Amino acid sequence: MNSVIVVFNSRNETLYFAQSLKNQGILCQIINTPKEAGPACGISVKISQNILEIAKNILMNKPFRTFVGIFKMLISGGRTSLEKLY
């Protein structure tokens, strides 16, 4: 499964976004934000890349002011790197 993380600068918005996904029956996980994502609130929402369009729709339809970005997680040799998707 290819995973992506959705990063915010606000813990409240991170948790609200995760709850918005869960309300639609979408699995997600709260994780510590990798330092490679830059300054953020410390937690992010991890989702499957398969539901990326649904996540984008939620972001567009709600007033998220602290949204930082959506990043694809690449793990190789025990190291994490991120590729910004949105």
Residues 22-40: what's their mean pLDDT?
Answer: 88
What is the torsional sign of CA 12, 18, 23, 29?
negative
Per-residue pLDDT band at 67 (split at 50, 70, 90)? very high
**Structural domains of the chain ordered from first start:** 3-84 (3.30.70)
> What's the pTM?
0.88
Please give, one letter per residue, the 3-state secondary structure of 64-75.
CCCEEEEEEEEE
Average pLDDT of every residue of the chain: 89
